[in-house]
Amino acid sequence: MPIHVGDMMENIVCPPVHREVTGVGVECFYGWDEGNGRYSQFDVASYRHHHAPTVEDVLREFAQEMNENLGMYTGEAIDADEWRKADERTIAEYAAKLRLAGDE
């Protein structure tokens, strides 16, 4: 997908950093670099177009997290009480994300 001025790009490493494209070069783009306090050049191979997560994206993440919780329990890495607490934390985290999605 071509990169255009005004696009929002997201790096592919964690934690994600979002940058607005202010210029386009050959296999690079330009944007504000908060770390250096100036405009900088960024390698397109390290970035992808950013899109706001959809409800479906959030639900996929939720299902994956719940599966990981179950895996820790069935693998005997955690006991039943810890499993319930992990599920409660996961449910609270993703409920908050879905409420925020409704605000957009």
Please state, in angstroms and rounded to a whole number, the distance separating the CA atoms of residues 87 and 104. 26
pLDDT tens for each residue of the chain, 104 residues long:
799 999 999 998 867 788 999 999 999 999 998 888 899 999 999 999 988 888 888 899 999 999 999 998 898 888 999 999 999 999 999 998 888 655 55
Least Cα distance to 44 among 10, 79, 86, 88 occurs for: 10
Please state, in angstroms and rounded to a whole number, the distance separating the CA atoms of residues 24 and 1. 13
- Whole-prediction pTM value? 0.55
Cα distances (angstroms) measured from residue 74 to each of 66, 69, 81, 82, 86: 12, 9, 13, 12, 13
The residues spanned by each domain of the chain are 8-49, 55-103
